[in-house]
Amino acid sequence: MTTSKENQTIAIGALPEANEKRFTVVAVLDQMPLVALVLLCLVTAILSDRFLSPINLTNILLQASVMAIVAMGMTYVIISGGFDLSVGSIVALSGCVSAWVMLETNVPLGIAAGIAIGGVVGYLNGYIVSRLKVNPFIATLGMMVIVRGAVLLITDGRPIVGEDGLPEIFLELGSGRFLGIHYLIWVPVILFIIFSWLLHMTAYGRRLFATGGNREAAYLAGTQVKRVVTSAYVWCGILGGVAGVMLASRLQSGQPTAGEFYELTSIAAVVLGGAALHGGVGKLYKSMIGVFIMMVLANSLNLLNVHSYWQRVAVGLVIIAAAAADQIKSRRN
Amino acid sequence: MTTSKENQTIAIGALPEANEKRFTVVAVLDQMPLVALVLLCLVTAILSDRFLSPINLTNILLQASVMAIVAMGMTYVIISGGFDLSVGSIVALSGCVSAWVMLETNVPLGIAAGIAIGGVVGYLNGYIVSRLKVNPFIATLGMMVIVRGAVLLITDGRPIVGEDGLPEIFLELGSGRFLGIHYLIWVPVILFIIFSWLLHMTAYGRRLFATGGNREAAYLAGTQVKRVVTSAYVWCGILGGVAGVMLASRLQSGQPTAGEFYELTSIAAVVLGGAALHGGVGKLYKSMIGVFIMMVLANSLNLLNVHSYWQRVAVGLVIIAAAAADQIKSRRN
Amino acid sequence: AAGKTIGVALASDTNPFYIVMRKGIEIQAKKLGWKVRIVTANEDVNKQVNGVMDLVAQKVDGILISPIDAIATGAAYKAAHDAGIPIISIARGSKSKYQTLFVAMDSKQIGRDIGDWAAKKAGGKGKIAMISGPPGSNVFKDLADGFKEAMAKQSGMKIVYEQTGGLTRERGLNQAEDILVAHPDVKVIYAGNDEIAMGAGQAVATAGKKSNLIITGLNGVPPALKAVMKGSIDMTVVVSPMVWGKLGANIMNDYLSGKKHKQKIFIKHIIATKGTAAKYLPPKRKK
Amino acid sequence: MAGNEALLTVRNVSKRFYGTQALDDVSFDLAAGEVHTVVGENGAGKSTLIRILGGIHEKDSGEITIEGTPSEFTNPREALNAGIVIIPQEMQLVLDATVAENVMLGEIPSKKWLGFIPVLDRRRLREQAGEVLRKVNYHGSLNISISRLTFAERQLVVIAKALLHQAKIFILDEPTASLEQREAERLFEIIHSLKTQQVGIIYVSHRLDEIVELSDKCTTLRDGKVVDVSTRGHVEKENIIRLMTGRDLAELHQPHKLEFGETLIEHDNAISLRRGEVLGLAGLLGSGTTGYLRNLLGAGENAVAMNLLGDEIQLKNPIAAIKHGIGMVPGERRHALIYDLSVRDNIVLPHLSEISNGWRLDLKRIDKLVTNLIEALDIRPRDPKKLVRLLSGGNQQKVVFARWLIGNFKVLLLDEPTHGIDVGAKARIHRLMKEFTERGGGILFASSEMNEVVNMSDNIIAMRQGEIIATMSRETGEYSEGYLREALGG
Ligand SMILES: Nc1ncnc2c1ncn2[C@@H]1O[C@H](COP(=O)(O)OP(=O)(O)OP(=O)(O)O)[C@@H](O)[C@H]1O
Ligand SMILES: Nc1ncnc2c1ncn2[C@@H]1O[C@H](COP(=O)(O)OP(=O)(O)OP(=O)(O)O)[C@@H](O)[C@H]1O
Ligand SMILES: [Mg+2]
Ligand SMILES: [Mg+2]
């Protein structure tokens, strides 16, 4: 057999060059969500001089902190090829459980309980999706309703505050600062670093992407796909739990109605950040950009005192426009 | 080439037998949702003597009528490989538009306007999904928010009733009967026949299934996939419009907040009925079974006086259980 | 009329107002020796109509309803009427001719009273921001309209911000944060209910602006009363859903035993402020 | 050269998918250092046997031992750990991941940061992937996503991925189905070197020349039963065909034809297809034949202007192509079939408008049409309502082909039309091609099997990197596989 070397180099030589040429265009297109975010900030900054004030920027970070954490978990689940409609209910459940346990015992136990219950619900989701093979939409929709019912049962429908409010230390978490920055902002920053590492730098992360990208291929390569899928839901549950506890400290109470629509908002944020709902594609920092698009938009519409009916129209339009702009990339590929 | 006849006859002969054997097991597994529904009815009938009373059965049909129509449209969209989160908002929009137009002009024009506006929103959805290639989740989530904002703008956040209520003839539609059966029940029955025929008996229906099942393959086989996808959203919008008008006649007003969560309920119903969210699979009558599972469940929980918090838990459990049971079939494949 | 079964159709099972009202009805029903069957609707009118029909199908002896919408629930009233079941509205009323009685709250008046109180407290001058309740229902719209009416009479007061939305503390917090940025000199924050008010109170306290800013609430639930006492919000309106619930049950009892009432029975609402809030707290439960 | 020690024994294994007895009391032996080939018609149960060995399916009954110990795998991981490595028939790759990541999917290398934080070892990932990829003659970039490779290039990645593992038993399910000869021969070299390392090899293919060349032992399956086991020296093509199909079968050679009709398609003065002609497109891996056929159909990256029966046209999409009487069999079945639809619906899909009365489908007519086609192409099972998903690969391919035999199509664009189908079916498709041209149609035909191109075509166009580098004609002599290979520089 004759294998001519030059011939091969020609045949594939075409590709790297093409790659370089595409680099600049693709790089920009790939950062479309970031462009959208910057644009949004620019427009708001021009229309309102208050937008760039330190206090407003702090507000945005504070308001984004809980959603950012939820969106991290959602990113994992979406990369695994599913999604989690129950995360809003998980936020409420863990906030209430955490408030309730800390009133009965102490603050650390309360926080731990809140996060743990999120993990448990996440595990159930994962079990139903990966073992019972129920479609994620149905499984987590069912779980969303069940968990909301459970929260209402636990709390009897009323916020949990205790006789004299929640413990001071816990409330400190919701309002205190470290190095001049709110704890509530530190938490997502630290979690972002950890979960970026886990997603993008470890073997586990690769398996998650592979499982979401092609479950069959991952399975045949010896990946324990069921376990990987379950783990994604567990992370989502745990992060939902953390978000719930943080929200409770911010709201100084366990709120049974907290977290409504968090599932849709976080899915929208993650997808705006470029993750694919069929799985296998996504980046954690991009999901954060998605979160900021949603949050800055809400803040800017409030600052500009746009009527709340018009706000909805604007939010919807921006979501669709951002997603459509992001599609230009795929069409060029 | 010699094609030996016996050889072929062997191949043919083997089949019917195999088919017959499969018949019983598969047929039952295939009808799992129906089994679930019958079971649900049986249990309720045993626990409550009122369940089978004519008035209650009429109630169930009345209660299911609007959701049944929404679910028909959703079935089309899901078969096409998408879904439509905006349908709840469409129901509200067309109800309000219809009420408003009929107060300004006359009843037929009002009804037509309500249905037409649904079709227009559906077309927009279809355009965004098929031409701008935005993921259906994001596209219709955005549309859901936009349309809800539009309804609130049109109505200024208040129900539309007019000075002396909506026209009598229109209200008659919501409460009157023909041959002893409510108009509100006739409408979905007739629509069911029409849309079953369209879906299962026409060339258009085949193209819809093909497009949802494998867009690329359908395209290469000469299907105008974009047009087909768009049409599914248009049908969903139109049927959402019909549902909205019917709801307005039942509620004797255009309600700007009507239809909330209809999207999730109808998707759940359609998927419970066995349609696949990745597209290309589904049957209209099965979606109706899904609707009845949801509706009978709600009715039965009310009859049994289950506390509303427990109701949520029960609804969630039944949804998951029914979906899990339906999966046994796929696992045997 | 002991031994009766009464159906109850409430607008929501997550709004503290209705949760407490439900308790009131249940407590009173127990005293009267009734069975209660409850359906709730999460502010979905169609669901409420369905729920009432389910009650009618069960042939209950009477129905207490807090209709989500005055017109849209017409079919429910008609169904009850057709089955010969009395149907009494509480808190929210119906325009249906089949409404047996109405134990009413005058939302617009409450809004006016809040407005008058706030205007007086603010000295008739200053900017106003409104974080109103959800759109689509008449109650919250009437409350806000009443408030605006009162403010329209004040030449020195101007509404600079208004948003409608859900009745959650989180929303109160987030919106108040944004209000304080957009309008740092805001004088009055109107909140659609106590939860929103308490969220706003938190934002204002964090920003260190509490001393010269007025926050109004509505409902008079215990945590809000405590917040008023602490000064983190300035007033709430005690509409006492517990009393309403009990009253509703009593009036149903009267009706079933043939006692006559006026078609419309108004309930008083009381403004609770720092000085008076303690009075309206329910007695402390012992564990 | 075959070892004697039994590496793997399969005893009386059966497997039933409801409705189909895929394996019926199958026994099978494999020794270390031996190549044991498995042949059989489409749907005979070859892949099922392999999937059971790899822990993908569970057997219903029977016994499997590896080196004397009974083994029962419930998932691929356990099989991999036991040293069973499979190249599955349906290529399974993660399209959104890079070439290197796909190769290393089973053994993602990790290192420790600061001695305790595990992180991905990207350098080792690249190096190890590069090493095995070189073994299979892939020299492209490691960091591009798989979705940008051609089908054949992907097949190389799949083989590399399998070579990564230390195999005791190496199983290949139709690995050469889309490879042209140069790559295939490279693969045989690898197989030989594995043999010398005492690895046992199971090899499934429909290319019988390969089977004859490679087999130390050859098992023939038919309808899930073992009908024959031959050893080296006794493995003969004609014999295998008879055993597989139960009949003799002569391979079709397109007879020399001198007269063609009017010109159907003309493009760039380079390609012209006449009535009655089969025009072959030949090229080495990644030469752009697939892309060219798609462009002609109007479904590719660039629309091409061409002359169709004297009219200058530029097809914008397949719909227009079909209107002009041009149909296509795509190179990958998953681009051609709607798996959740029935055989019948898949066949009539492009013709729905013609066979409906207004809106309503003429089901009677459809059933008659489809039943005839199923008969003519011997699609099994003979059930028009069967979901295509449940058919074996070869039968699926026949369904794709059947589509274009309805109606009056002038031109067929065929990309690897016999990909993965058995000899019998292949002969049948060749015959159908011939009948199509006899009726005055023209066929543009790309295949990675050079001898197929040479046998079937009247004229051949050799391509490299999307450019035409040579043409060959049956009429002008100098028409052979060797000549074509030389022209392509392979
Ligand atoms: N998952 C499954 N469910 C139902 N039937 C199946 C399944 N997998 C295979 N079959 C059936 O089992 C039989 C054997 O299939 P198998 O894939 O083993 O054939 P094969 O010999 O590999 O054919 P080919 O040469 O076409 O790849 C076929 O009739 C096929 O339709
Ligand atoms: N989307 C793409 N982006 C960049 N390069 C691509 C893309 N698709 C294909 N290519 C490259 O274009 C070349 C031609 O591809 P094509 O599929 O037409 O080749 P082919 O001859 O059919 O190959 P094979 O024999 O492998 O099927 C290949 O080198 C391939 O790597
Ligand atoms: Mg096979
Ligand atoms: Mg090709």
DSSP secondary structure, B122-187, as one string: HHHHHIIIIIS---HHHHHHHHHHHHHHHHHHHHTTS-B--TT-S-HHHHHHHH-EETTEEHHHHH
Residue B330 near chain A (CB below 8 Å)? yes
Among all ligands shown, which has an atom nearest to the Cα of D24? 1
Instruction: Give the integer Cα–Cα distance in Å for B70 and B280.
Output: 19
Position D325 pLDDT exceeds 70: yes
Strands D467-473 and D459-464: antiparallel
Q: What ipTM does the predicted assembly reach? A: 0.87
pLDDT tens by residue, B303-321: 888 888 899 999 999 999 9
Question: What is the sign, positive or negative, of the torsion defined by CA atoms of C109, C115, C118, C121?
Answer: negative
pLDDT of residue A325: 83
Question: What is the sign, positive or negative, of the torsion defined by CA atoms of B180, B185, B190, B196?
Answer: negative
From the candidates B202, B206, B219, B277, which should be mutated to test the interface with D, based on the most D CB atoms within 10 A? B206
Instruction: Give the integer Cα–Cα distance in Å for D248 and D454.
Output: 23
pLDDT tens by residue, B105-122: 999 999 999 999 999 999
CA-nearest residue to B66 within chain C is: C46
pLDDT tens by residue, A100-130: 999 999 999 999 999 999 999 999 999 999 9
Q: Do C138 and B159 touch (CB under 8 A)?
A: yes
**Residues ≥6 apart with Cβ < 8 Å to D196:** D33
Smallest CA-to-CA distance from C138 within B157, B247, D370 is with B157
Tell me which H or E stretch contains D280: strand D278-283
Which residue's structure tokens are 């049109």? B154
Confidence of residue A20 (pLDDT cuts 50, 70, 90): very low
pLDDT of residue B16: 33
Q: Amino acid letter at C29? A: A
Q: Which residues of chain D neighbour A78 with C-beta distances below 8 Å? A: none
SS (H, E, C) A163-214: CCCCCHHHHHHHHCEECCEEHHHHHHHHHHHHHHHHHHCCHHHHHHHHHHHC
Does the beta carbon of D155 sit less than 6 angstroms from any atom of ligand 2? Answer: no
Confidence of residue B297 (pLDDT cuts 50, 70, 90): very high
Which of A166-170, C233-237, D357-361, D407-411 comes out lowest in average pLDDT?
Answer: D357-361
Does the beta carbon of D183 sit less than 6 angstroms from any atom of ligand 2? Answer: no
Position A187 pLDDT exceeds 80: yes
pLDDT of residue C234: 93
The mean predicted confidence, pLDDT, of chain D is 86
Percentage, residues of chain B above pLDDT 90: 58
Which one of B1, B2, B213 has the shortest CB-CB distance to D339? B213
Residue nearest to atom 18 of ligand 1 (CA): D45
Smallest CA-to-CA distance from D249 within D394, D452, D422, D416 is with D422
Smallest CA-to-CA distance from A298 within A36, A47, A44, A46 is with A44
pLDDT tens by residue, B25-62: 566 667 888 988 999 999 999 998 888 888 889 889 98
The mean predicted confidence, pLDDT, of chain A is 87
A298 and A64 in contact (C-beta within 8 Å)? no
- Residue B41, CB-side half-sphere exposure with 13 Å CA sphere: 15
Residues 16-75 of C with CB under 8 A from A: 16, 19
Closest-CA distance, C171 to chain B, in angstroms, reads 17
Instruction: Give the integer Cα–Cα distance in Å for D414 and D392.
Output: 20
Residues 376-415 of D with CB under 8 A from B: 378, 380-383, 390, 403
Instruction: Give the integer Cα–Cα distance in Å for C177 and C200.
Output: 8
pLDDT tens by residue, A215-251: 988 998 888 999 999 999 999 999 999 999 999 998 8
Question: Cis ω on the peptide bond leading into residue D381 (within 30° of 0)?
Answer: yes
Lookup: tokens for C217: 């609430």
D17, D340, D383, D386, best to mutate for ligand 1 pocket (most atoms within 8 Å of CB): D17
How far is the centre of ligand 2, averaged over its atoms, from the C-alpha of A220 (Å)? 26
φ, ψ (nearest 5 deg) of residue D326: -115, 125
D15, D18, D20, D389, best to mutate for ligand 1 pocket (most atoms within 8 Å of CB): D20
Question: What is the sign, positive or negative, of the torsion defined by CA atoms of D230, D236, D239, D242?
Answer: positive
Instruction: Give the integer Cα–Cα distance in Å for B103 and C101.
Output: 30
pLDDT of residue D109: 86
Residue D335 near chain B (CB below 8 Å)? yes
C183 and C157 in contact (C-beta within 8 Å)? no
**What Å distances lie between residue A41 and C175, C178, D369, CA to CA?**
19, 15, 62
Closest-CA distance, A148 to chain B, in angstroms, reads 7
Residue nearest to atom 19 of ligand 1 (CA): D43
Lookup: tokens for D69: 């110990």
pLDDT (mean) for A245-267: 91
φ, ψ (nearest 5 deg) of residue B127: -65, -50
Instruction: Give the integer Cα–Cα distance in Å for D461 and B290.
Output: 57
pLDDT tens by residue, C12-32: 888 888 888 888 999 999 999
Position D87 pLDDT exceeds 80: yes
DSSP secondary structure, B253-285, as one string: SB-TTTTTTHHHHHHHHHHHTT--TTSS---HH
pLDDT tens by residue, D168-178: 999 999 888 87
Confidence of residue C115 (pLDDT cuts 50, 70, 90): very high
pLDDT of residue A9: 27
Percentage, residues of chain A above pLDDT 70: 90
- Residue A165, CB-side half-sphere exposure with 13 Å CA sphere: 15
End-to-end CA distance of chain C: 34
